[in-house]
Structure 1
């Protein structure tokens, strides 16, 4: 590198002024030494304009120095760092749209300049996810050869631009590019990927990748975005406007739905462009790689469009796995359901993988860790694995159930071997939970039993409770009875869990059912105990401290609420996983 190592020190005041937006300090220096306007002030040949515009805060300094440079020689705006970056490249990196506008207004051709890597400022804006700057540079960067002789919108550079916008989740920009430059769909970027393949790695820009609560989903479904096909748009628009006034946060749902629709339109447009090429090889390459990638991320919307566009793509092979088999391998139930409904006569095609595994062998293997962790707790994870195995077992050819793979193992043998550790973890979790809960249940049993014979206020000479005629006493008796019966039930169920054989099949239904009953019973016993305690205080102190009831009830609800908050999510998951609708939609 041709560089004087004293330059950085000598120009340190200029560097500091550029960073601190301090034009006044160096204005006189530039007047006396105009050559310093584009001097190399850092080891990497960066100029004062590079430093200032790269801060995205020294706006006055940028405005002043650009005026000075234009008055002397406008070509100095194109001064490059050692890596070939102009000031516009720096503006694109940091999202300095104001600086970019000013530069292009003075020198429109600067937008066409590439650095040593062949990157224009437009590409860097996409690379660093600077949406506003990217959209502006799209307006001013022309479809014509730059210094390197290529257009930013063709070949690898153009493919890079599309894939980088998708990496930054700017699906509206990608849709604009694909509409204007359809040939980019078939081009591969510097990593050898097509735009559709990169899109297949972005589940969050599709509806299936967005986790919405019930009410969020309800609002999402009503948000008017698709104006072309929504006949009830005026009504929906009015309702959404009212909702937006009450809850401004719903704007995020609107933006989410808009992005989802743009993404789906983008997929449809790209698939259509691929088919219009009229080449099986092109369709096979572009749609096949996208589908095989989308399976791993569970993006069934993209797969659906690709298969509907070119049905033969279900036979695309990725490492010996066809579409349906890959859905089993990666435990993507939505893709599994989609593939079965669309291509039911093909789904269990023989595989050609090195282990000679049939579909049931593949279902018997342990899920990929990311998919396994979508279910909380080893016990429920084991249950989900069994659900997958049994579902695939229902549909395979009978001979597959006892078929041997390369290692001479049947699917059931593979399942047992692969899930040995998970089975142990599930057993440990169940036993630990049951052991600790049994202690609590036993304490409640003891207290409830004792309270039944030491009623508040005591007994009269005939042995009858003194508060027998009081309505609060009836509440005490009922709640104490419920606490006793519920806690006894919970203890028995936890003991049943502790003494279980912990076979694989037990995790499918028996153990989750016992855990549900035990948790519900324990919750009821705790709630009933708190009610009984509150009723006792109210009876004993009602004549002396009449206002005691309200605070006692308030404080008594605290432990019950805490228990519900801590255990309710687990209970819901247990109920939904065991008794809820099948993840396979009863295909």
Structure 2
């Protein structure tokens, strides 16, 4: 072993030359020691070709080295590292398409060689997400048995290739594979998963998993993408042409929308891929196969909220709504995982939800399940414990409308009704919501009280003072009117905010209060506090203008500008919370 370690030290000049694309230095060494062409330079048995290709930059070195190896013995191109990787495996890992082409041109059979784990270079390109190299290797890797006796496109190897491609997000490559090798769809990979099941765990490749800002969403909706030929209907075709023209203008003047275009293209490819996979499964005319492949995919999709995949699967094979995942049918699973889009989809698609909303082997009926605390990832999609409690109540009340009346007070195996389960499961969340409400109200009450005090005092200490009759000196001035009106608004609004915050502090904090009463009071209080601060700043600006305008005529503009800063800052900090409160309480239902 010591001798081997010493040899790695003596081989450092070749190693560094391969790393730095320095062929001249290496050539002199190879002239003296031709055995070094495929010598093991590292602890992992990597040769000069492995090292140079792995840099993805020493292309000249690779070109010269390959020519020299081919002149000696072309089989040396297949020299493997300790883990059985050839130089082509290294090219696939780093995305070195340039040198991969050179290797394959000299030794076409190298594409079929597997490493110690049974992986071809093609599979590694998918594993490491190297799109360009993957497309190239798909062209040159043949559908025939390699060293391990299997084809890269069949059995577990083929399923692996497809699922790795999907994991990397290459839906266009997956579409190509599915069309050319449809049997991949029904096979399981090394982890025991089908391609459709893997796709069901990737919400980011579906429209529902991509949250775009409003402006970007508008661009997204206007960009037309059609994988098929455009419709022959003249009206549709003209409409498509108009949208295509507008989208081209958008892309021309806003190149950054290219990312949005690619995102929409991926979404369309994904939906087409799901449709094709479902059709391939059903073409087998085997219920057990369809039940297994579509059922596991739907079960996974429910957990991730991918309603698009569920919709395609259910439309292709409606019986799949009865797939049993740990005792939960599709409709009940949507409640269990708090996936409102899936819940809404099943509700709208079929009346079978009436039969699906029955008790399961655990003894819980759907209302018991709705009464349990949401999974933490779903709970955290709503900010603040108070709004989380509100969302939990919304779920409970929605499910309560759907279940049979007998289930509303039914007992589970623990002899508890749904409401008892809800109260027990949400005890900690209720306490957190109460603490959040009280902390917010206490802090805001202090601010509101200060504004009340200032606004009240300002009404009796008007700018400029009073005359001998007790009337304000600036009474006939328009700016003084602005001062008085804004001061009155500040007083009334701040008083309202203080009263509403006090109402929150003295609330009983029952579960039902979080559904409507407490959010409503918080909204009124926050809006009132904002108005009082804005009015106070206006009153202050008007006062300075009245007092200083004779001496400093330009004071009004900068004072107004500076006064707007704290108001804007307050709006930026509190507006998102206010919007969420309004939308959650008065906006369209999450179930629509």
Decide: shared fold, TM above 0.5: yes
Deviation, 1:251, is 1.1
Encode CA deviations 1:399-425: one digit per residue, 9 max, x unaligned.
101111111000000000000000000
CA RMSD after TM alignment? 1.4
Select which of 337, 341, 365 maps to 1:358: 365
Contact 1:348 1:359 in 2 (8 A): no
Contact 1:320 1:352 in 2 (8 A): no
Aligned twin of 1:32: 32
- Larger deviation, residues 172-181 vs 98-107: 98-107
Please tell me whether residue 492 in structure 1 is matched to residue 494 in structure 2. no
Encode CA deviations 1:25-78: one digit per residue, 9 max, x unaligned.
221001221211111111111111101111112222222211221222221111
Deviation, 1:241, is 1.4
Please tell me whether residue 403 in structure 1 is matched to residue 395 in structure 2. no
Between the aligned partners of 1:183 and 1:495, the Cα distance in structure 2 is 67
Between the aligned partners of 2:423 and 2:547, the Cα distance in structure 1 is 60
- Larger deviation, residues 49-58 vs 290-299: 49-58
Please tell me whether residue 583 in structure 1 is matched to residue 585 in structure 2. no
Between the aligned partners of 1:223 and 1:31, the Cα distance in structure 2 is 60
Between the aligned partners of 2:24 and 2:428, the Cα distance in structure 1 is 70
Between the aligned partners of 2:520 and 2:389, the Cα distance in structure 1 is 14
Contact 2:153 2:161 in 1 (8 A): yes
Between the aligned partners of 1:8 and 1:36, the Cα distance in structure 2 is 12
Contact 1:175 1:266 in 2 (8 A): yes
Between the aligned partners of 2:133 and 2:98, the Cα distance in structure 1 is 9
Select which of 230, 235, 259 maps to 1:228: 230
Aligned twin of 2:200: 200
Between the aligned partners of 2:2 and 2:389, the Cα distance in structure 1 is 64
* SS in structure 2 of the partner of residue 16 of structure 1: helix
Between the aligned partners of 1:233 and 1:37, the Cα distance in structure 2 is 60
* SS in structure 1 of the partner of residue 374 of structure 2: coil
Between the aligned partners of 1:28 and 1:351, the Cα distance in structure 2 is 80
Aligned twin of 1:445: 452
5 Å-filtered alignment, 1:420-569, equals 420-569=427-576
Deviation, 1:115, is 0.6
5 Å-filtered alignment, 1:25-104, equals 25-104=25-104
Between the aligned partners of 1:503 and 1:228, the Cα distance in structure 2 is 58
Encode CA deviations 1:312-338: one digit per residue, 9 max, x unaligned.
000000100000000000000010011
Between the aligned partners of 1:477 and 1:346, the Cα distance in structure 2 is 61
Contact 1:355 1:407 in 2 (8 A): no
Aligned twin of 2:19: 19
Between the aligned partners of 1:246 and 1:545, the Cα distance in structure 2 is 46
Between the aligned partners of 2:357 and 2:435, the Cα distance in structure 1 is 38
Deviation, 1:518, is 0.3
* Distance 1:413-1:455 versus aligned 2 partners, 3 A rule: same
Encode CA deviations 1:541-571: one digit per residue, 9 max, x unaligned.
1111111111111111111111000000000
5 Å-filtered alignment, 1:296-311, equals 296-311=303-318
* SS in structure 1 of the partner of residue 169 of structure 2: coil
Deviation, 1:249, is 1.4
Between the aligned partners of 2:131 and 2:275, the Cα distance in structure 1 is 23
Aligned twin of 2:251: 244
Contact 1:359 1:396 in 2 (8 A): yes
- Larger deviation, residues 59-68 vs 524-533: 59-68
Between the aligned partners of 1:511 and 1:122, the Cα distance in structure 2 is 59
Unaligned runs of 5+ in 1: none
Please tell me whether residue 179 in structure 1 is matched to residue 200 in structure 2. no
- Larger deviation, residues 134-143 vs 257-266: 134-143
Aligned twin of 1:147: 147
Contact 2:346 2:353 in 1 (8 A): no
Contact 1:534 1:549 in 2 (8 A): yes
Please tell me whether residue 156 in structure 1 is matched to residue 156 in structure 2. yes
5 Å-filtered alignment, 1:255-266, equals 255-266=262-273
Deviation, 1:350, is 5.7
Contact 1:322 1:351 in 2 (8 A): no
* SS in structure 1 of the partner of residue 255 of structure 2: coil
- Larger deviation, residues 247-256 vs 160-169: 247-256
Select which of 390, 414, 417 maps to 1:383: 390
Between the aligned partners of 1:10 and 1:308, the Cα distance in structure 2 is 67
Contact 1:19 1:55 in 2 (8 A): yes
- Larger deviation, residues 233-242 vs 441-450: 233-242
Contact 1:320 1:351 in 2 (8 A): no
* SS in structure 2 of the partner of residue 153 of structure 1: coil
Aligned twin of 1:289: 296
Aligned twin of 1:110: 110
Deviation, 1:146, is 1.1
Aligned twin of 1:122: 122
Contact 2:322 2:356 in 1 (8 A): no
Encode CA deviations 1:227-257: one digit per residue, 9 max, x unaligned.
5356222211111111122222111111010
* Distance 1:410-1:212 versus aligned 2 partners, 3 A rule: same
* SS in structure 2 of the partner of residue 6 of structure 1: helix
Please tell me whether residue 189 in structure 1 is matched to residue 189 in structure 2. yes
Contact 2:368 2:417 in 1 (8 A): yes
Between the aligned partners of 2:368 and 2:540, the Cα distance in structure 1 is 56
Please tell me whether residue 371 in structure 1 is matched to residue 373 in structure 2. no
Aligned twin of 1:253: 260
- Larger deviation, residues 266-275 vs 16-25: 16-25
* SS in structure 2 of the partner of residue 547 of structure 1: coil
Encode CA deviations 1:264-285: one digit per residue, 9 max, x unaligned.
0000000000000000000000
Please tell me whether residue 280 in structure 1 is matched to residue 282 in structure 2. no
Contact 2:533 2:567 in 1 (8 A): yes
Contact 2:74 2:107 in 1 (8 A): yes
Work out the number of aligned pairs and report it.
Answer: 585
- Larger deviation, residues 454-463 vs 378-387: 454-463
Contact 1:493 1:517 in 2 (8 A): yes
* Distance 1:557-1:580 versus aligned 2 partners, 3 A rule: same
Between the aligned partners of 1:557 and 1:348, the Cα distance in structure 2 is 59
Please tell me whether residue 344 in structure 1 is matched to residue 344 in structure 2. no
* Distance 1:2-1:290 versus aligned 2 partners, 3 A rule: farther
* SS in structure 2 of the partner of residue 452 of structure 1: helix
